Amino acid sequence: MRCEVIAVGTELLLGQIVDTNSAWMGEQLALAGIDSHYQTKVGDNLERIVSCIRLALERSDAVIMCGGLGPTQDDITREAIAEVMGVGLIRRPEIGERIRAMFAARGREMPDNNLRQADVPEGATVMAEMPGTAPGLICPIGDKVVYAVPGVPYEMHEMLTGTVLPDLQRRAGVAAVIKSRVLRTWGQSESGLAEMLGERIVELDGAGNPTLAFQASGIEGIKVRITAKAADADKAEAMLAEEEVRVRSVLGDLVFGVDDDTMESVVLDMLRQRGLSLGVAESLTGGLMGARFTSVPGASDVFRGGVVCYASDVKFSLLGVPPGPVVSAQAAQAMAEGARRVLGADVALATTGVAGPTEQEGQPVGTVFLGLAMSDASEAQQVQLPGDRQRVRQYAVISAVNLLRRRLLGA
């Protein structure tokens, strides 16, 4: 079974929106055991969309159309599919009423043009999932099929996982279950991880199952994805668990989390388990660290707050930093100690440094000092971070949080 993805929207071609939907669908198709050899982007033009669908059906067994199901005149995916099917559009009153009810629930009156979303190619089936106003479609064309899903990511995700992937697996006769687990790492390059795991990768390449793959994720570190294929979910999970143990035995505390974990969610859990509270003092990061911590649900039982001390005199007067250079290990350590005292926290982190674009106090761009204060000791660490101003700031945040993680582990 080969499935092709067509993303519809002129804004994708103009670069006004990055097509993350196709990337996500490609990943999900692979995990479901469905081959996908082509992905296409096409603008809002009926002739070109029809041409893309026909070409896709020549070389693939199934096509997923993403986007172009809205209520406006340039949303023409329905019309294009109907033309390829050789049928007309039928307005489904029950869908229209469902859309009208969604507007009413929000206290709004439905514009008449939203009824276009109730138009369905004759012979097509409407997907059960309908989180928004655009229904998803299953459109048979001979022994092949075209699926149409909205371009809104959360709506597309729900339809793909709820209807499209199971239907594709049924059509393909896929009996096996494919599952993945992602180990989140920080502190080593992709090539470094590959070298550390090289012997195991060779073994797995020979066996073919499970598999290891790497994905560089910028300020989120490097992901090591373990994928296993088995007769049922329990066996696949057992294979993942066994391989995770092996990978962790090699990588040690470079692994900070699994799947949807973030560095900050992991550290908050570690502090919570130890009954410790946290505060931060930020200079070059300007509140980014506090924002990341508070983006985690339930952070309030650990995170007491932050001091954004951008100006040097604020560091001196509020946090008790001794007069002198503020881009220094001494300043970072004093900032952490001051934040711990001012915020009444058990633990405090601090950042100071040079984000750019020019050097400061004789220090080159990317020079960052991380401060950490705990009940029994305080310290500072210097790191040299790559990238432009924003990347240096983001890298500084995760480096500081990782410093705390390693200290809590006793590293």
pLDDT value, residue 207: 87
Q: Is 410 strand, coil or helix?
A: coil
**Percent of the chain topping pLDDT 70:** 100
Question: Is 48 within 8 Å of 7 (Cβ atoms)?
Answer: no
pLDDT tens for 275-330 read 999 999 999 999 999 999 999 999 999 999 999 999 999 999 999 999 999 999 99
pLDDT value, residue 19: 95
Residues 239 and 132 in one domain: no
Which of 141, 172, 203 is the C-terminal boundary of a domain? 172
Residues 89 and 126 in one domain: yes
Interval 139-162 mean pLDDT:
97
Token code pair at residue 299: 């952070």
Residues 63 and 113 in one domain: yes
Strands (E), 160-266: 177-185, 211-216, 222-230, 255-258
- The alpha carbon of 405 is separated from its chain's Cα centroid by a whole number of angstroms, namely 22
- Output DSSP code: residue 146: E
CA distances from 406 to 187, 205, 351 (A): 11, 33, 17
pLDDT grade for 177, boundaries at 50, 70 and 90: confident
- Output DSSP code: residue 360: B
Residues 195 and 254 in one domain: yes
How many independent structural domains does the chain possess?
Answer: 3
Interval 198-223 mean pLDDT:
89
Residues 248 and 119 in one domain: no
pLDDT value, residue 223: 94
Interval 12-38 mean pLDDT:
92
pLDDT grade for 231, boundaries at 50, 70 and 90: confident
Residues 241 and 356 in one domain: no
Residues 231 and 309 in one domain: no
Which of 149, 172, 195 is the C-terminal boundary of a domain? 172
Question: Is 277 within 8 Å of 304 (Cβ atoms)?
Answer: yes
Residues 196 and 117 in one domain: no
* CA contacts within 13 A on the Cβ side of 28: 22
Question: Is 296 within 8 Å of 265 (Cβ atoms)?
Answer: yes
Q: Identify the CATH number of the domain in which residue 378 sits.
A: 3.90.950.20
pLDDT grade for 340, boundaries at 50, 70 and 90: very high
Residues 185 and 306 in one domain: no
Q: Identify the CATH number of the domain in which residue 108 sits.
A: 3.40.980.10
Interval 371-396 mean pLDDT:
95
CA max distance for the chain: 79
pLDDT value, residue 33: 79
Q: Specify the range with the lowest mean pLDDT, choosing from 80-89, 160-169, 231-240.
A: 231-240
Q: Which amino acid is at 6?
A: I
**Percent of the chain topping pLDDT 90:** 87
pLDDT grade for 218, boundaries at 50, 70 and 90: confident
Tally Cβ neighbours within 10 Å of residue 197. 18
Q: Which amino acid is at 189?
A: S
Question: Is 289 within 8 Å of 401 (Cβ atoms)?
Answer: yes
Q: Specify the range with the lowest mean pLDDT, choosing from 50-59, 126-135, 174-183, 374-383.
A: 174-183
Residues 76 and 159 in one domain: yes
pLDDT value, residue 411: 67
Q: Is 242 strand, coil or helix?
A: helix
CA distances from 341 to 111, 206, 324 (A): 57, 57, 21
- Triad 345, 349, 355: Cα angle to 5°: 150
For all residues of the chain together, what is the average pLDDT? 95
Q: Identify the CATH number of the domain in which residue 235 sits.
A: 3.30.70.2860
Higher pLDDT, 369 or 34: 369
Q: Which residue range forms the structural domain that includes residue 254?
A: 177-258
Residues 353 and 230 in one domain: no
Residues 130 and 235 in one domain: no
pLDDT grade for 30, boundaries at 50, 70 and 90: confident
Interval 223-235 mean pLDDT:
89
pLDDT value, residue 101: 94
Interval 173-184 mean pLDDT:
84
Q: Which amino acid is at 105?
A: A
CA distance 66 to 62: 13
Question: Is 63 within 8 Å of 57 (Cβ atoms)?
Answer: yes
Which of 200, 224, 258 is the C-terminal boundary of a domain? 258
Token code pair at residue 33: 């055991």
Note the pTM of the prediction, 2 decimals: 0.74
